[in-house]
Amino acid sequence: MDLRLKGKRIIVTGASKGIGRAITTCLLNEGARLAICGRDEDRLSRATSELSALGEIHGKSCDLSNLEQTTAFVDWAAEQLGGLDILISNVSAGGGASFRDCVETDIMGAQALMRGSLSHMQDQSGANIICISSRAASMGIPFLQSYAAVKAATISMVKSMAMEVAPRGIRVNAVSPGDIEFDGGAWGEAKLHNPKVYAQFLSENPLGRMGRLDEIADVVTFIASERASLVSGANILVDGAATKGLQI
């Protein structure tokens, strides 16, 4: 299936590692042109250099809790790419962050990304926005209330924004990963240092395994494409049926 992403101008945030890097890799393989950011300048520089073998990519460090930096990054990205078609907002202050940090990064930062990106998107052109949320938004998470709360707020923000920009022909969606294991990630670390917790969550997944980075990236790439042209205002769980609640 041709996803028709060749030449599309795309921003991916949090792209120097984990889910963001996997999404970036997948999009580059589809022929898209990318502008990426991350907080760690050295890691971002390495990722940009390594991924440049796959296609056009521009990297700039940015702290998404700083609204001025965020707006400046979006403007810079649009200048590098000659416009903007798609935003992948992969934003998180982290599971152990305070309520203030989570709100400033996950909500205020994502809102600045979306508003800034919308100003560069053309109407009726297939432009769209995807926010990475989490299955944590759909369940209670003891000791991680701030993370769960802002991820739920992200989904609400996506639904409202989708309705707002629909007359422009712009789609807005959320993709909510489940428990994804990779080296250096939360579940990769838990497997090494807290095997009891790892085993407990593993046993609760009906598929009997953690998810992979490419399984998230593939879904995000499809939703970003014209093949998903009627999908907007949705929250797409990619969790192997681990979330028990019914979405209606």
pLDDT for 96-122, tens place per residue? 788 899 999 999 999 999 999 999 999
What confidence score (pLDDT) does residue 19 get?
96
pLDDT in tens, 201-212: 788 889 989 899
What confidence score (pLDDT) does residue 144 get?
82
Residue 39: pLDDT above 80? yes
pLDDT band, residue 35 (cuts 50/70/90): very high
Residue 174: pLDDT above 80? yes
Q: Identify whether 198 is a catalytic site residue.
A: no
State which amino acid sits at residue 223.
I
What confidence score (pLDDT) does residue 84 get?
98
pLDDT in tens, 184-238: 777 777 677 788 888 887 888 899 898 999 999 999 999 999 999 999 999 999 9
Say how far residue 149 (Cα) sits from the centre of its chain.
17
Query: Is the torsion defined by CA of 41, 21, 4, 159 positive or negative?
Result: negative
d(CA 85, CA 225): 10
d(CA 23, CA 215): 10
Burial class (CB in 10 A: 0-12, 13-18, 19+), 46: middle
**For 134-139, what is the mean pLDDT?**
89
d(CA 20, CA 34): 12
pLDDT band, residue 172 (cuts 50/70/90): very high
Catalytic-labelled residue, pool 89, 114, 147, 179: 147
List the strands of the sheet with 128-132, edge to edge. 57-61, 33-38, 9-12, 86-89, 128-132, 171-177, 235-238
What confidence score (pLDDT) does residue 248 get?
62
Per-residue tokens: 179: 């428990």
Q: Which domains does the chain have, with CATH numbers?
A: 9-181+212-238 (3.40.50.720)
Per-residue tokens: 157: 């923000």
